[in-house]
Structure 1
Amino acid sequence: MLQKIAEFIHPGPDSKEELMETLAEAEDNQVIGAESRAMLEGVLRITDMTAGDVMVAAPRMDLINIDAPFDELLHLVIDTSHSRFPVYENDRENIIGILMAKDLLKLQRAPELNLRALLRPAVFVPESKKLNDLLREFKGNRNHLAIVIDEFGRTAGLITIEDVLEEIVGEIEDEFDDHATEGDIYALADKTYRVSGDTPIERVEESFAVDLKTRDGEEATEEFDTIGGLIAHEIGHVPKRGERCELAGLQFVVLHTKGGAVKWFKVSPATPLQASKA
């Protein structure tokens, strides 16, 4: 396989853009598959991206107060489903360590334990940290979460190894969307659609020929810019993966959330349309 690729791209491309084009040609000529092309392009993309580009912003970080009671900690872990949590003392800016969710079992079995003793060291990286370098460090030190610091030393957000890997493999599914449209609404093979949470409501209305601003014949009083904001309002809380919401004849299923916001929905008719037969 590698030999076939090497022969195809000889002589080598002179720029990253040319290499991207070469990968597309390699897929067209069946030298590599769609999955391989998507992953290789992802690897190339992260060399130009920084921690600040993909981090979960500070206001959306799920943090634990070192002085919080056990029941509060347990509820936070269950509600968010994270495996790691930054822990702060007195002020959210004062992050003193990382708590592994599984370590709460130790606290439950031995309440006399001090939560502080369960903390693991926090890793801090600048916003300008290149993703390829960060991924290498994540793999080397096994710290799969880092706190991102801005140029003034303040907490800008957090980033996980999952965030970095998603930049490489997160769009593989899109490579199979034969009828994918431009932008953030993608047609899937099963006749449903994948819609990003930050898609403007007007774009969703135009794409699906629906009216999301009218409810029961009356104009909605609330105003939202994105479909993610509207669906979160309809659900009544921060949506979780797998939750569903029916609106304007469409069913929205939460596929992926990040930092308290919906990253992707799966959208289909609320009632499957069936052609009538005589």
Structure 2
Amino acid sequence: MSDSSSGSSWLDRLGKVFSDEPESREDLVEMMRAAHHHGVIDADALAMIQGVLEVSESRVRDIMVPRPQIELIDASEPLEGILEDMLESSHSRYPVIDDTKIVGVVLAKDVFRKVVKGELNTKEDLQAIYREPNFVPESKRLNVLLRDFKESRNHMALVVDEYGELAGLVTIEDVIEQIVGDIEDEHDEEESANIQKRTGEIFSVSAFTPMDEFNRFFKVQLDEDLTETIGGFLAIQFGHVPAVAEEFAVDGIVIRVVKASERRAELFEVRPAKSAAVDGEEGLVQQAL
């Protein structure tokens, strides 16, 4: 008798949850939440369903890795330097830039295969294994991108803005994480570091980088008593919330704002002062007192 009652109760609950057809996306989400509340689906299933719905609405610009954080291979560097950079960063794919143009993509497995066979001795050998870059617009929907990834078996795309300039990078893992949540691997801790090398002597620096860490890494002596983070230090120097493209020169380096909101700066690019000029862009350069 109790089993029958339990079964009836479960069916009643299930029927109640799905008694009305959803008329909108919001109705569907509420229905799924109700199903979770009544024990029909668990929290993980609810999160993935919501993720699938969000992927169908989100665009590449919402999840891409912005350009300043992309690990690029500079085609002008010596082969030895390129291989050392790849070994240090341990990514599986690298866009190759020549001057300001993306000329290809290098896969770490292709390089490893050539090295093992003793066939990678010159930069021409490296150029021979460049793969065709896959470009997508910032406005592309994530569900369409995921389908393209599956059909082409290409797991990385370079994102371009409305002017055809490189804006960022997106991988199939980035899209899948929107559905199932963060997928951690052995390199995630390294990739989440406050200071990351880009190409040559150029680095990406989080605005939350502690002042002592910044000073130690770049061998400078910025005043650590003013604030705890480099973002706060620059806000004090500018006298306002730093805006994108503003620059600050100090102790032989130039710190350039590459990502900021109305409330705070989020990401900087740091390079030696001798190479601080940015083609086609204007920035406010202030000398430290």
TM-score (norm 2): 0.57
Q: Structure 2: which 5+ runs fail to align? A: 1-10, 185-205, 211-223, 233-266, 269-289
1:114 aligns with 2:125: yes
In 1, distance between residues paired with 2:132 and 2:78? 21
Q: Contact 1:66–1:115 at 8 Å: present in 2 too?
A: no
Matching residue of 1:90: 99
The alpha-carbon distance between structure 1 residues 68 and 9, as it changes in their structure 2 partners (threshold 3 A), is farther
- What are the within-5 Å matches in structure 2 for residues 44-63 of structure 1? 44-63=53-72
| Aligned pairs (5 A) from 1:98-247 | 98-108=105-115, 109-112=118-121, 114-170=125-181, 220-224=225-229
Distance apart, 1:102 and its partner CA: 1.2
Per-residue deviation, 1:11: 2.6
Check 1:107–1:6 CA distance in 2 against 1; reply closer, same or farther (3 A cut). farther
Aligned amino acid, residue 127 of structure 1: E
3-state secondary structure, aligned to 2:128:
helix
Aligned to 2:242: none
Report the CA distance shift for 1:81/1:134 in structure 2 as closer, same or farther (over 3 A).
Answer: same
Q: CA deviation at 1:19?
A: 1.2
Alignment pair present for 1:28 and 2:51: no
The structure number with the bigger radius of gyration is 2
Determine the structure 1 residue equivalent to 2:28.
19
Can you list the C-alpha shifts for 1:177-236, whole angstroms capped at 9, x where unaligned? xxxxxxxxxxxxxxxxxxxx999x9xxxxxxxxxxxxxxxxx833443889xxxxxxxxx
1:72 aligns with 2:81: yes
Q: Cα offset for 1:7?
A: 8.0
| Matched residue SS, 2:167 | strand
Q: Partner amino acid for 1:52? A: R
- Structure 1 unaligned segments of length 5 or more: list them: 174-196, 202-218, 228-258, 261-278
**4+ residue runs over 4 A deviation:** 3-7
For 2:149, the aligned partner's letter is F
- 2:130 maps to a residue whose letter is L
Give the aligned CA root-mean-square deviation in angstroms. Answer: 3.5
Residues 15 and 57 from structure 1, CA distance in 2 versus in 1: closer, same or farther, beyond 3 angstroms? same
Note if 1:42 corresponds to 2:51. yes
CA distance in 2, matches of 1:10, 1:28: 15
8 Å Cα contact 2:18-2:31 kept in structure 1: yes
The structural deviation recorded for 1:34 is 1.1
Q: Which amino acid aligns with 2:152?
A: N
Q: Residues 171 and 22 (structure 1 numbering): CA distance in 2 closer, same or farther, change over 3 Å?
A: farther
Partner-residue secondary structure (3-state), 2:58: coil
The structural deviation recorded for 1:54 is 0.7
- 1:272 maps to none
- Other structure's SS at 1:35 match: helix
